[in-house]
Each structure stands twice: as structure tokens, then as C-alpha cells.
Amino acid sequence: MKPLNIGLIGYGFMGRAHSNAYRKVNNFFDLEYQPVLKAICARNAENAAAFAKKWGYESVETDWRKLIARDDIDAIDICTPNNSHAEIAIAAAKAGKIILCEKPLSMNGPEGLKMVQAVEKAKVPNIVWYNYRRVPAVTMAKKLIEEGRLGKIFHYRAKFLQDWTISPDLPQGGAALWRLDVKAAGSGVTGDLLAHCIDTALWLNGSMDSVSAMTETFIKERKHTLTGKKQKVGIDDACAFLARFKNGSLATFESTRYARGHKALYTFEINGEHASIAWDLHDLHRLQYFDHKDEGKLRAWRSIHVTDHGGDHPYMDKWWVPGLQIGYEHSFIHQVADFLAGLAKGKPVGPTFRDALETQYVCDAVLKSARTKKWEKVKQ
């Protein structure tokens, strides 16, 4: 196998998820490339060194520019707050590095476009970590749609609910809570949670034409971790929007961090002329399926355990015997496996930066609609 030297920037939640994927992928997938954990980069040298020791990185950097300049680094994996994605990615592209970037792609569409132009000018392989595409049940939904089993799509509905920001005493900003700081995150649940829903929807159901949205910030001021002073909260705590897809279907999307009792409830349902499908992250290995063609007395929603037929269900032939389920972390392993397979063939693997830019344009339209209180067209 050819080594692919990885330089990871950031050691938070996603840094762990990505590192685990790099370490496990060759144990289960037959690939031409083998990720090598070459360097971890973070501002805190002590914490970075501890992360390197735990996960097996060979070296530590505290300046991402030095990491990009290293000749022994083939790929840059960006796991930093959203406001640094563009600068790092554009520099990495100019240096000819392969780039894997956490979602969302950028702070907004215009910034994302510059990132797309940079990677396409440099002709470097690139991908964005929208990992839910690689959950076997979601991939299975994609195949059923492509096979025409649902027929014409009428409705798409999705939600992503959490409850971790309800307390008014929770501060904003800093290493742990940058998602609540608009300067670091760009937006709240729209870019953090709904971006996942939007990417999946675009992948499954095609492009969106227009949106009508509303947002709310329930806690108007929070203490900032870095200054210790109360500051205005600039992110959206909740967002709901209607959408029209180009295929004529209608959609509803909802996300909030104020849904008491939900830590990460992501669901979608798609209704077509012949059949419907539904999926729930809390039961991620099952795909709910209703087919109107079934005989009347047996016509009902069925629960497909997407682990039972390894040869028929996406990715499952690489794991355990039929019936034994896999989990959240495996979606990242699948993404690395697909990316490395594409790398070997010289073919792009989605979502590329350009694919993720489409999601960014939807987010921009959603936030604009919430301000204007009008239907807004999605930039194409």
C-alpha cells in the first residue's frame, strides 16, 4: 500500500473521529493507500502532544503554516472552527496538498466560492466531512431513490434537535464553545446542524430552488469566555424553513438547540408516489420503508435492518456477520475508504468543495430569508 501522510489540524471531537477512521480503515477495506498519522497541529503544544501520544501521531506542530510547508505531509485535514477553514484550505491548495475539511465548508457562500476556486485551480483532491451520507441506511435510501422505487418525490422533511444550550449561564466563545460565537461559527444551528440535513437532502433529492425561513435567538446575551463580559449573541438558536426543490417536491426543515430531551435527534422522511422512506439517527442501522405495491392486507411500514444482508446492504460486507450492527464512528471510516478509493482511481468523491458550496448557498438563502421575511432564491 502507498502511504498517505496526514496532517491533522485540531484535536477536538472531530479530530478524534477522523483519527479513529484513519487508524481503522485499512483493517476492514482493501485499499491502495494507507493513512499515516504524520502530524497533529494545534495551538496548545502540551495538549497536542498528549493527543499525538494517545492516537499515534508521529509529530506535533503549533503553526498550521509550518505543517502545510512540510514536504512529508500529503493531506491536510481541517478540524478547526469555521472561521479558519478558508485561510487554511486556500493555503493548502496553493501548496498542492490533498484537503479534507470539516463542515460547513465556510462562513458563507462567497468565502466558500474562493475555496472552490483554489482547489480547482490547484487540481488537488478535496472532500468535506458530511459523514451522514455514509451511514449504510442513508446510502441505502439513496440507492432506492435512484432505482425509482419511490417514483416522483412529493415531500421531504428533516429535523435535527439538541438541548445543550438552554441554560442562560452557558458562556459563548473560546475553545469549547466557539459554536455559540458568531465570529467563529458564522451562524448557529443553520450552519452546524441544518447543514447536515441540507447536504443529505441535496444528495438524495437534488437541488433546491427557494426557501422561506424563520430563526430565533432565545438568549440574547451571554458572557464571553475570553473577555469575561456579557456580549450580544449573534447566532441562531433555532431555525425552521420551508423549501421547494427543483424536482417540484416540497420540504420542511427544523433545527434547534432548545428541544429539551434531545441530544442529537436527526431524522428525515421522503414521500414519493409509490413509496416512502424514513430514517432516524438514534436507530441509525434501520431504514423504515413503505411500499404501496405491497398486497393490501400486508401493506404497512416495514423496518429494514441494514446489517442483515452484507452483500446487498452498503458497506456491510466489510464488517461483521449479518445482523450485527455498526455505529456512528463507522460513517467516518466509510468516508475515508471512499475517498482513498477515489484517490487511487483519480476520481473525485463527494461531497467535494463544490458540492458543499451548494449547501452553503442554501444556508445563506435561509439566513437571508429569516432577515427579509420573504421567500429567497437559492444561488446556483
Rounded Cα gap, residues 239 and 216, in angstroms: 7
DSSP one-letter code for 255: E
Task: Check whether residue 83 and residue 158 sit in a common domain.
Answer: no
C-alpha triplet 229, 230, 234: angle, nearest 5°: 125
Q: Which of 349, 351, 343, 347 is nearest to 31 (CA)?
A: 343
Task: Check whether residue 94 and residue 176 sit in a common domain.
Answer: no
Task: Check whether residue 119 and residue 153 sit in a common domain.
Answer: no
Within a domain: residue 216? Answer: yes
Task: Check whether residue 245 and residue 337 sit in a common domain.
Answer: yes
Q: Name residue, grid cell 423504515.
A: 288
Query: What pLDDT shows up at residue 271?
Result: 98
Query: What pLDDT shows up at residue 296?
Result: 87
Task: Check whether residue 46 and residue 185 sit in a common domain.
Answer: no
Residue that is last in its domain, among 74, 102, 131:
131
Task: Check whether residue 253 and residue 313 sit in a common domain.
Answer: yes
Within a domain: residue 159? Answer: yes
The count of domains in the chain is 2
Task: Check whether residue 248 and residue 99 sit in a common domain.
Answer: no
SS3 322: coil
Query: What pLDDT shows up at residue 316?
Result: 95
Query: What pLDDT shows up at residue 269?
Result: 98
Give the chain's radius of gyration (CA, Å): 21
Task: Check whether residue 257 and residue 296 sit in a common domain.
Answer: yes
Tens digit of each residue's pLDDT (9 = 90 or more) over 151-169: 999 999 999 999 999 999 9
Residue that is last in its domain, among 77, 107, 131:
131
SS3 214: strand
**Taking the CA of residue 186 as centre, how many other CA atoms within 13 Å lie in the half-sphere pointing to its CB?**
25
Task: Check whether residue 164 and residue 94 sit in a common domain.
Answer: no
Tens digit of each residue's pLDDT (9 = 90 or more) over 5-25: 999 999 999 999 999 999 999
Pair 159, 255: CB distance under 8 Å: yes
Which domain does 266 fall in, by range? 133-350+357-372
Query: What pLDDT shows up at residue 311?
Result: 78
Within a domain: residue 377? Answer: no
C-alpha cell, 113: 466560492
Domain of residue 35, CATH code? 3.40.50.720
Rounded to two decimals, what is the model's pTM? 0.97
Query: What pLDDT shows up at residue 309?
Result: 78
Within a domain: residue 380? Answer: no
Residues of the chain with pLDDT under 70: 310
Task: Check whether residue 208 and residue 244 sit in a common domain.
Answer: yes
Domain of residue 299, CATH code? 3.30.360.10
Task: Check whether residue 125 and residue 163 sit in a common domain.
Answer: no
Query: What pLDDT shows up at residue 31?
Result: 98
Query: What pLDDT shows up at residue 308?
Result: 85
Within a domain: residue 263? Answer: yes
Q: Name residue, grid cell 484537503.
A: 99
Q: Give the count of beta carbons closer than 10 Å to the beta carbon of residue 302.
A: 12
Task: Check whether residue 127 and residue 138 sit in a common domain.
Answer: no
